[in-house]
Structure 1
Amino acid sequence: MVTQSNKSIAKAFRLIEIVCSESGPISLRHIASKANLSLPTTHRLLGTLKAVGALQATGDGTFKLGEKLVGIHASISDNIHQVRKIVELQLKDLLSKAGISARLSMLDDGELVIMAGNDSGVHQKMRSTIGYRYEAYCTAPGKLLLAALSIDQLNAYLNEAPLVRITHNTICEPRRLLDEIAHIRTVEYALDDQEFIEGVRCIAVPLKDKSERTVAALSIAGEQLGLRDLSALIPQLRQKASLLSAQLRELPRGMSTLLDIENLEVA
């Protein structure tokens, strides 16, 4: 249930996000404009955040992160650096030949978000930018992560997703996509047979937390990879995903640090 208190909390978090996104202190007027809030409402919320130490007012009337959030932000940033180092090293090991792209992805609000990656002599069209968002239904990692959703979540996604044809092979019929997702749930890997980029095939396997919940997807894509080549890579990719999951679980915040990367650097 949405209450007035919940709305105020959501607005306050939005103000914190705005301040975090700036390279330096930011004025009340600028914050209000970016948050699409009135000056009085913004002033009231900033006052509350200042009182609890989340934000700090500077001498010229601008605002920056307070000491409490600076400490939290620094701690999370250290964890993020450690996670990226672990992930990118493991992804690099997957690139045994030229023309291969390896990616770690997550699902956020129905979109595929590229969290980390490495390339080996790939064409420009395959160089998906870290932090970018893509439609989930037409990619191997996206379909794999959709398969981890509950029935209600998946139906909600299908009701809103723009299932448009990107290539000749794109699955854009809800019934076919549901059949594909049912198959993915059975075999626990997903294939993209030129559904996102003409001439490029991809395979993805899950990264799971301690409760065996899928939280991310590890994928390999290439222009020279046939379906038989991709199938042959499944054992190696699963082994790498299992190793990566185990390494991430050993971190202080475990695999939830992946969410830190998503929330602080991608959003």
Structure 2
Amino acid sequence: MDRKYWVPALERADLILMAIARKPGEHKLTDLCEVTEINKSSMFSLLRTMETLNWVKRDEKEAYALGAGMAYLNTVFNESHKQNYNLVSQFLQASLESVRAVGETFQLSVLDRSEIIYLAKQEGPSLVKLASSPGMRFPAHATAMGKMMLALLPPEELDKRYPGKLLSRVTSRTVTDWQVFTAKLAEIRSSGHSVDFEEIIEGICCVAAPVTDASGRGVAAVSTSMLRHAYLDKQETALQEVTRLGKKLSLGIQSGASFTS
């Protein structure tokens, strides 16, 4: 977009909403200033305006969460994206078999700019529960699902999502060098699967596969996550199951059919 028509206040509001969405009920005004690098005066005005519009709400501890206005917009958005509803429904059915086979949690997400948004999660029997739920966002470049979907983008579209070719470091294993990153995306595109080896959370590994439409365009991704030692034992089974699940969901999208596992 031409910066000539850019509205800085809207950009700041977006930064605030994303920060709140990632950690609802945890950030106070000063926390949001630190996270977004927005000065206190501007932050105060923006938060008060968004409170009035019901975009955010403030609790008794002065911490912020998304408000009813955002819930309404989410409802309208979901209504206009019914394919996601069908995909979630199919995932929740089909992933039961995958969870039984691997014994770990499976996730479904879509790509939004340079982040992934979790659409659904099927919990496994593991005592270790991941701090993830539908609606949560994570940087795409540090996740298996994100890298899988980024790998299927045309080069010009990838460049649009990372105009400065900057990749933030999340853990010590996160790839931040652009040339190394794009080389890995090429490997992922060739292999048809992606692995996150402690790149988003220390001690957690993840393997992902794409969900594609009839044209081969990546519309979503599925993954299974587990502790590092479990992944070393289960990686072959995990890859087989996540690939099978991705193909099954892809066929569902391409045929418009629903199914049970």
The question of a shared fold, defined as TM-score above 0.5 by the shorter chain, is answered with yes
CA separation of 1:78/1:173 partners in 2, compared to 1, >3 Å: closer, same or farther? closer
Paired residue for 2:91?
87
Q: Is the 8 A contact 1:207 1:218 kept in 2?
A: yes
Give distance in 2, aligned partners of 1:173 and 1:152. Answer: 18
Q: C-alpha displacement at 1:163, in angstroms? A: 2.0
The answer as to 2:158 corresponding to 1:164 is no
CA separation of 1:124/1:162 partners in 2, compared to 1, >3 Å: closer, same or farther? farther
Paired residue for 2:154?
150
Larger radius of gyration: 1
Paired residue for 2:219?
215
* 1:137 counterpart (113, 138, 141): 141
The farther-off stretch of 116-125 and 194-203 is 116-125
**Percentage identity across aligned positions?**
24
Give distance in 2, aligned partners of 1:85 and 1:73. Answer: 17
SS in 2 for 1:131: coil
Give distance in 2, aligned partners of 1:77 and 1:194. Answer: 32
When the two structures are superposed, what TM-score results if normalisation uses the length of structure 1?
A: 0.61
The farther-off stretch of 125-134 and 80-89 is 80-89
The farther-off stretch of 243-252 and 217-226 is 243-252
Q: Is the 8 A contact 2:114 2:141 kept in 1?
A: no
* 2:194 counterpart (190, 194, 199): 190
* 2:108 counterpart (83, 94, 104): 104
SS in 1 for 2:91: helix
Paired residue for 1:247?
252
Paired residue for 1:175?
179
Paired residue for 2:235?
230
The residue identity in structure 1 corresponding to 2:92 is E
* Structure 1 unaligned regions, length at least 5: 3-29, 36-64, 255-267
The residue identity in structure 2 corresponding to 1:226 is Y
Give distance in 2, aligned partners of 1:161 and 1:217. Answer: 23
The within-5 A match list for 1:21-36 is 34=53
Cα distance per residue 1:184-220 (max 9 Å; x no partner)? 1111110001111111110001111111112111111
Q: Is the 8 A contact 2:114 2:162 kept in 1?
A: no
Q: Is the 8 A contact 1:193 1:227 kept in 2?
A: no
CA separation of 1:179/1:228 partners in 2, compared to 1, >3 Å: closer, same or farther? farther
* Structure 2 unaligned regions, length at least 5: 3-48, 55-71
Give distance in 2, aligned partners of 1:123 and 1:161. Answer: 38
Q: Is the 8 A contact 1:98 1:121 kept in 2?
A: no
Q: C-alpha displacement at 1:114, in angstroms? A: 0.7
